[in-house]
Amino acid sequence: MKKINVLFAALIALLAAMPGLTTADNFPQRPIELIVPFGAGGTTDVFARSFARVLGKYLPHEQRVVVVNKPGGATTIGMSVLAAAKPDGYTLGLSPSGTIEVMQHYGRTRWTADSFEPILAVLDIPASINVLDSSEFENYAQWKQYVEANPGKFTFTTSGATGGSAHLAMEQFMEKTGLKLRHIPFEGHAASQAAVLGGQVMGSFAMPNLHQGGEIRPLVFLTDAKPLGDDYADTPVGSSLDTPVTASFPMGVFAPKGIPADRVAILHDAFKAAMDDPDVIRFYETSGLPRVYQDGETFAAGIRQRSAANKRLLKQMGLIK
């Protein structure tokens, strides 16, 4: 009996030294919170809730995922809550990566990109240089000819403020092409669209809305991702330009840095399976947005590359020291 007890104790010690065996079997044991750094009803929130409805089917123990909105501070409030959370896998965030790639450089947050563990990306938000559908510019080549002949005259807006990820992507476009445009910032996507429709600006850099019956037409996508449907079949993408320019605005799932690798794997696999769930696929199709998957390593590498480029541009523009 004594020998059996010694062997049993040794087995327990061995299992305790192998967290990949015990933690993975036990996780998750309670509901998971999914922080959205925006208010209810926006694109990110609706995506989060679409995933949350089905994730229980793909998580061990069929645990629930609860969406928690933490808006404010240009998304920094929600991401600050996430960065400060215990890295145990029970608090996650769903956010565009641009929040991390830009806001850390202003020195107003206690977190940096290194404060988070990217788990996977589930979307790459399409963005294009747009004009009104009734515009005189019929295609990118015609528009480019006008801009070259009239430097600084074409005004455009983005859905974020000066120094936001969309604005910085356009600064990079201008730098690489030599074209000169004038940025007019508006707060929020709705205000930017209204400015284009009302003729306050000549165009925008954002997702167009022809596929939703709107009046904003793309001339060129600076992202490789396009909205679903035939409306944009003939619209070129940045990588096909004379001077290739490719922007990327992935949205994905993050955890606080330090989360155990086995829990990252469980969460990744659950979200990846949810991307292929019929209900989630229907949501992508209804929204007109393509499913674009990146694993955690690829997602993280893109964040580092875009963050470094943004920091350089912000310094060049005099927005940071």
pLDDT band at residue 220 using 50, 70 and 90 as cut-offs: very high
Contacts of 4 (CB under 8 A, 6+ apart): none
What is the C-alpha R_g of the chain? 22
Please report the pLDDT score of residue 241 as a whole number: 81
Average pLDDT on 151-156 reads 97
Domains identified in the chain and CATH numbers: 22-125+250-316 (3.40.190.150), 128-240 (3.40.190.10)
β 155-158/182-183 pair status: parallel
Average pLDDT on 109-119 reads 96
Residue with tokens 């998304």: 75
- Of all residues in the chain, the percent with pLDDT exceeding 70 is 92
Q: Which amino acid is at 306?
A: R
The rounded distance, in Å, linking the Cα atoms of 149 and 156 is 17
Whether 120 has a pLDDT exceeding 80, the answer reads yes
Please report the pLDDT score of residue 240 as a whole number: 83
The rounded distance, in Å, linking the Cα atoms of 200 and 195 is 5
Please report the pLDDT score of residue 15 as a whole number: 40
Going by C-alpha positions, the residue among 133, 157, 136 that lies closest to residue 146 is: 136
The per-residue pLDDT for range 176-198, each reduced to its tens digit, is 999 999 999 887 778 888 999 99
Please report the pLDDT score of residue 25 as a whole number: 59
Going by C-alpha positions, the residue among 120, 124, 103 that lies closest to residue 112 is: 103
Give the helix/strand (H/E) hosting 186: none
pTM: 0.87
Whether 99 has a pLDDT exceeding 50, the answer reads yes
The per-residue pLDDT for range 17-45, each reduced to its tens digit, is 444 444 455 899 999 999 999 999 888 99
Mean model confidence pLDDT for the chain:
90
The rounded distance, in Å, linking the Cα atoms of 275 and 296 is 15
Please report the pLDDT score of residue 106 as a whole number: 93
pLDDT band at residue 74 using 50, 70 and 90 as cut-offs: confident
Highest mean pLDDT, choosing among 36-50, 191-205, 225-239, 258-272? 258-272
Taking the CA atoms of residue 84, residue 88, residue 91 and residue 96 in that order, the dihedral angle to the nearest 10 degrees is: 80
The per-residue pLDDT for range 292-305, each reduced to its tens digit, is 999 999 999 999 99
Helices 261-275 and 278-287 meet at what angle, rounded to 10?
A: 70
Whether 137 has a pLDDT exceeding 70, the answer reads yes
The rounded distance, in Å, linking the Cα atoms of 190 and 192 is 5
- Which of 86-90, 94-98, 242-246, 260-264 shows the lowest mean pLDDT across its residues? 242-246
